[in-house]
Chains A and B, each alone.
Chain A
Amino acid sequence: MTNLNLKIMRRELCYMWRDRGLRNILMFGPLLGLLLFLAIYNAQNIKDIPTAIVDLDRSSSSREISEKICNAENLKVVTYPTSYQELEGQIQRGEIIVGVVIPENFARDVALHRHTQVLLIIDASNTAYATNASTAVLGVTRTISAEAGIKTLMSKGMDPAQAKDTYLAVDFKEEGWFNPTLNYVYFLVLAMALNFWQQCCTIAASINVIGETGVKSWLQIRAIGFSKFRLFFNKSLIHIMVFMAMIIPVYIIAFGVFKLPLACGFGPMLFFTLLFAIALHSLGTLMSSAANNAMDSTRFGMMVALPSFVLSGYTWPIEAMPGFLQPVVWIFPQTWFFQGFNYLTFKNPGWDFMASYFWALIIIALVCYSLATLITAWMER
């Protein structure tokens, strides 16, 4: 590497450092993001879903049901309202997510083998809560119905073992693969921090070209016949090195300190992140070559960077998006990265499968840098 290249790189690093706003964003943004998201998802799982039981019967049978609800996985009985209206108010105020109403004369109806109903209400306005609550409730309802049925069969003279067999004939065992504890920290925290990181990188990359062509020193650079390729190559190199320097501490904290899952190992993950950093930088460079000023370029960049996480399918699956949108989302490097990131951290499906993700980022980078070169040359004419 020649002395001149080093000087260009040092100059760029100096510019980045002396741009106080950018410096703050790059130095503290991703780390603060990671720590904030770690703190938000500190609880890791949705357990102890606040539950209320309205026992209008107050019998031993109804207390049995209450006990089953108390012992149900992920439900936590926090209150016993005395009426349906009181329960309704608590659900409306968001204090309770699951409500159980045991009707009057419940024990009498059970004893007389009359049809009776237990009402289970789930507040589904927050689906994250509701899906967990619903799953927990499904387990309880199965047990309650089965036990009631078994008792009825026994009262009709059936042998207890036979009655139990009739009800619990098929036993299912559930296993959540790759994230068995359904831990939100594993799933979301690092991905969110990476999302924040890619937004910070986009801000930095989006002044790559305009940061030179939009200032008066550009005339001097052009006047001395300095190679544009050499200038932007070295600038880009420094940008990408800074992007990687930002993410390495995040990875060390996430994988090293908080032991987030990393099925593929640190090396492949770092290489994949490097390719993404290059692809992201190329996209920012493309925008900065087309924009009239640094602010427009930043705004273009953020218009892509902000919705890209939602579009990447990391949370809401791509398969659930409409058919015409599914191929479109793969244009963005963020989609390849976040999908690949999920595979690498949780599954490590092997190089044969992952190769397309690595190549896609390389191709996106090549296309964006080529377009940026053409646009810059065209603008200079």
Chain B
Amino acid sequence: MKQLWNIAHYEFLHVLKDPILILIVFIAPLFYASLFGVVYFSAILHDVPLAIVDQDHSALSREIRLAFANDDSFKIIAGIDSYEEMEIGMKNGTLRAGIVIPQDFEQSLYQNHPTQVLAVYDASNLIWGLNSRKFIREVINDFSTQHTAVRLASAGYSPQEIENIMNSVECNVTAWNNPTYSYTNYLFMGLMMMAVHQLGLFGVCLCVTREKERKSWIQYLAASIPTWKIALGKSLPYLIMNFFNYSLILWVSSRFVQVKIEGSVALLIILGLLYVITVTFAGFIISLYSSNSLQATRYLMLLSLPLFMISGYTWPKAYIPEILNYIGVLFPSTWMMLGIRMVSINTAGLQLLWPTLLVLGIFAVLAGYFALNFKKERNQPNKSSLSLNGGVSYPRKTNMLRALRQQIRASKL
């Protein structure tokens, strides 16, 4: 046991001696949580810049304008009086939506001539586009209801009769799990689980490559220490720190970013533990087989975007080709991101979550097994390729010029 603690202690000292590693292990998770938390803090879009081109200037067109003006989702941009001006505004991004009320609109309407109000939205950014379309429909529905009520009143119906007519079939729309359609609830935890994944790997992936670069890995291989002690001792500081970071991220997300984190705390802990074990041991295995720290870091860094996209966390799995879904399930990040959504947002219990826990458990066991039972063989450096960035070292400043100058000075003396 003492050997295990010694290796873990030595590894922890390495972390403390590397300022960038300290940043990655201790600061970066909190930094990313804060950064993305700030970015998505508003959670929903509002004040969509909207132009109303009123070519009718009638009482009805003013009513339409008022309906949009009274809705918090839109901010009416004044001074846009023509279709051409609206087009320019839409092109240069000062406008994201527009309403065009045609000439003689009210007159045509009351004379039963076909006429239409044009509602346009900027779909070049689909977050603007889809939300603007939804907001426009909401305002139109409300306006139509009010307008109908006014027309019924003018036809001589009493308020009670109007209510009865209009509510004869009431459609009650409710949104479950994320009632405000918050983008923070939707995206934040997925991004954070990717951060835990990446930062966890970055930290631990140096633990063996560092030893290889310092030529001290041979000592571990030659010593009569069982492989499981080496692997566990090297991984232990990262296991603890990664789980601490996972818990910290959950707390920050819930306390400061106002992300919905409900559901069972025990399930969140189990999910986190399994994920952290998998990531840490996978990082150890990567470190074991990488030529040097730079190579390992480069490849790992590029993983985040494809893993995030293939997970089905943002773009629904039902729309991703089957083959990619099959590939996606081979990565623990896919299960974790969907699992954390199920617990924190959908408040799912064990009866729904057990397949996710089972798969993450299998990942954890496999990663642990391969990490703890690695072969004590030293890979021969590849002589056929250039060692630059691919060998056992990578460029590092040793202030050679200064050292040379000192040598020259010393030789002169």
Cβ contact within 8 Å between A219 and B315: no
Closest residue to B35 on the A side, CB-wise? Answer: A307
Closest residue to B396 on the A side, CB-wise? Answer: A293
Cβ contact within 8 Å between B151 and A173: no
Interface: A295 (CB within 8 A): yes
Cβ contact within 8 Å between A295 and B91: no
Cβ contact within 8 Å between B124 and A40: no
Cβ contact within 8 Å between A175 and B120: yes
Closest residue to B403 on the A side, CB-wise? Answer: A219
> CB-defined interface of B165-195 with A at 8 Å, one 1/0 digit per residue?
1111111111111110111011100010000
A residues 27-41 touching B (CB-CB < 8 Å) = 29, 33, 36-37, 39-41
Interface: A229 (CB within 8 A): no
Interface: B164 (CB within 8 A): yes
Cβ contact within 8 Å between B166 and A145: yes
Cβ contact within 8 Å between B397 and A117: no
Cβ contact within 8 Å between A298 and B298: yes
> CB-defined interface of A275-316 with B at 8 Å, one 1/0 digit per residue?
000000000000000001111101110110111001100111
Interface of B is mostly: helix
Interface: A108 (CB within 8 A): no
Cβ contact within 8 Å between B169 and A110: yes
Q: Which residues of A contact B345 (CB under 8 A)?
A: 125
Closest residue to B305 on the A side, CB-wise? Answer: A196
Q: Which one of B28, B121, B174 contacts A119 once the chains associate, using CB atoms below 8 Å?
A: B174
Stretch of B111-119, B235-243, B269-277, B368-376 on the interface side: B111-119
Q: Which one of A127, A192, A216 contacts B181 once the chains associate, using CB atoms below 8 Å?
A: A127
Q: Which residues of A contact B171 (CB under 8 A)?
A: 117-118, 120, 140-141, 144-145
> CB-defined interface of A350-377 with B at 8 Å, one 1/0 digit per residue?
1001000000000000000000000000
Report how many A-B pairs have Cβ atoms within 8 Å.
376
Interface: A13 (CB within 8 A): no
B residues 279-320 touching A (CB-CB < 8 Å) = 293-295, 297-299, 301-302, 304-306, 309-310, 314-316, 318-320
Interface of A is mostly: helix
> Size band of the B side of the interface?
35 or more
Q: Which residues of A contact B380 (CB under 8 A)?
A: none
Q: Contacts A33-B306, A293-B396, A306-B304 hold; do A316 and B324 have CB atoms under 8 A apart?
A: no
CB distance from A175 to the nearest CB of B (A): 5
CB distance from B300 to the nearest CB of A (A): 9
Closest residue to A21 on the B side, CB-wise? Answer: B295
Cβ contact within 8 Å between A177 and B175: no
CB distance from A48 to the nearest CB of B (A): 8
Cβ contact within 8 Å between A173 and B117: yes
Q: Which residues of A contact B35 (CB under 8 A)?
A: 307, 311
Cβ contact within 8 Å between B121 and A176: yes
Instruction: Known A-B contacts: A292-B396, A293-B396. Give 10 more (CB < 8 A).
Output: A19-B390, A33-B305, A46-B319, A115-B167, A124-B175, A124-B181, A127-B183, A293-B397, A314-B125, A321-B42
21 contacts between A and B (CB under 8 A): A18-B385, A19-B390, A21-B295, A41-B315, A124-B175, A124-B179, A128-B314, A144-B169, A148-B169, A156-B165, A169-B148, A169-B151, A173-B116, A174-B133, A175-B118, A179-B123, A199-B301, A199-B302, A295-B294, A347-B92, A347-B124
In order of increasing CB-CB distance, the 7 nearest A-B pairs are A214-B395, A293-B396, A346-B124, A148-B169, A141-B171, A176-B123, A43-B319
Which residues of B come within 8 Å of A, CB atoms? 20, 24, 28, 32, 35-36, 38-42, 45, 47, 49, 60, 64, 90-93, 109, 112, 114-131, 133-134, 136-138, 140-141, 143-145, 147-148, 151-152, 155, 164-179, 181-183, 185-187, 191, 198, 202, 293-295, 297-299, 301-302, 304-306, 309-310, 314-316, 318-321, 324, 341-342, 345-346, 348, 352, 385-386, 388-390, 394-398, 400-401, 404
